[in-house]
Amino acid sequence: MSAGEFKKCLLETEPDTVTAFITEPMVAAALGAVVPSKGYFEEIRRVCDQYGVLFIADEILTSFGRLGANFGMERFNVVPDIIATGKGISGGY
């Protein structure tokens, strides 16, 4: 979903009925390590801020240095409202 499609979806469903946008910094298992296009997360962050939607990063697979930074979102210069972590803490078990 592009940022424009996300915004259109928000407006169609009324922004006050949407609580959060949840995403992985890099889709690993479902698509095989697909990286979003340049500027994608920055634009999604802007739309979330504009409409009061939480930006949640699912970093179960990408946190604690697995992408070369503490958290995968750091590679995209975006600070999420919430980060979900897990496997990296325990070594992946």
Q: What's the rounded Cα separation, in Å, for the pair 26 and 71?
A: 11
Instruction: Give the model's confidence band at 19: pLDDT under 50 very low, under 70 low, under 90 confident, else very high.
Output: very high
pLDDT value of position 48 = 94
pLDDT digits (tens, 9 = 90+) for 24-61: 877 766 666 777 788 889 999 999 999 999 999 987 76
Give the model's pLDDT for residue 42.
93
The H-or-E segment that residue 3 falls in is: helix 3-13
Q: What is the pLDDT of residues 59-89, one digit of tens each?
A: 776 766 666 667 778 778 899 999 888 766 6
Tokens of 10: 């928000």
Distance between CA 44 and CA 64 in Å, rounded?
23
